[in-house]
Homo-oligomer: A and B are copies of this chain.
């Protein structure tokens, strides 16, 4: 029986092959007589799982050797505090610059205010987070502890398709990116990044696992009140074993990494294949929205997310219907669920609909959504 298509923004759909393997190995991993949840994290079996997962992620994202890959916990929201606890100390007044392009970077900036002097270098709040301010207009300070941006805004559907070159903008600081919701969908230009972090529960694996990739020279500046197990230097020195790591999450993430490495589209393999698919999925849905009279996406076309597509049905007056309980929205969601198109309701702060198109979403799923949208429009 075919599974429904799950458009959840996260925790989100996972590759069926990964779920099947995790189920099959639940009581006995590779003949060792224990399931992965039952293994000591210090034993040889889990040691092999951890190392393979880290090596595969390094391969997938072409992470240079001078960056550490850390497996932590707490999600992006916890690391909104943990990143400044680790990096703010690089500047004597704990100066941190933020680029705010949606709900997530806004949350990051607010949490960082607890730990130092936060400056909003740019914001698209006045545009309702539907665009990304041109980097040449950013009011960056010369040498803050770091500059933060959110690579892909899961709620507002805005994505950086190119990372800024801070040095070229006159700012001598490492760039920190929250890559929670588009990691593994595109390459990362590590020459422009000092630290990348994200929760796993969108494009990687189970909620609870948090991945941090940090350049070696940024370690060692933790503030005195940073909890030991969240000091990235301690995590790096102890091989992500400063405390018991979320072993199941690392195992499942590792299965996703192996799945990702094996994907092919024509000549493209691994991350290149995943990026090609992400482009095709997004193109199919945005074309359907733009070609319709009923649906609308409000994000500037140059900054639209490939991963999270918020869209609205229009009311009879042509205006976007934000209220999820409006009868037209409710009818749309009911019909979608009846066709096995799940979790399309928009985020409460934006309303309307949102289709999240992560790596585990096949093109057929987007086609099914587009077919349904056209059918609904004809009948509306």
Contacts and interface: CB of A to CB of B under 8 A. Distances in A.
A75 B73 contact: yes
A28 interface: yes
A78 B82 contact: no
Contacts of A14: 35, 37-38
A249 interface: yes
Nearest to A39: B11
Contacts of A81: 227-230
Nearest to A76: B243
A234 B272 CA distance: 41
A327 interface: no
A24 B224 CA distance: 46
Contacts of A39: 8, 11
Nearest to A228: B111
Given A28-B3, A40-B8, A229 B78 contact: yes
Contacts of A23: 23-24, 26-27
A285 to B, nearest CB: 19
Contact of A13 (B38, B207, B229, B244): B38
Nearest to A42: B348
B38 A8 contact: yes
A246 B207 contact: yes
B40 A10 contact: yes
A193 interface: no
Nearest to A26: B23
Contacts of A201: 244, 247
A34 B4 contact: yes
Contacts of A135: none
A225 B26 contact: no
Given A3-B28, A77-B228, A41 B243 contact: no
Contacts of A340: 33
Contacts of A40: 8-11, 343
Contacts of A245: 207-208
A254 interface: no
A199 interface: yes
A225 B225 contact: yes
Interface string A259-281: 00000000000000000000000
Contacts of A249: 208, 246, 248
Given A10-B40, A77-B243, 9 more contacts: A12-B38, A14-B35, A14-B37, A23-B24, A37-B205, A85-B225, A111-B227, A206-B247, A246-B249
Q: Which are the 10 A-B pairs with shortest beta-carbon distances?
A: A208-B246, A81-B227, A77-B243, A4-B33, A23-B26, A23-B23, A73-B73, A208-B208, A75-B243, A206-B248
13 contacts: A8-B40, A10-B40, A10-B244, A11-B39, A11-B40, A22-B26, A23-B23, A43-B343, A75-B229, A81-B228, A111-B227, A111-B228, A206-B248
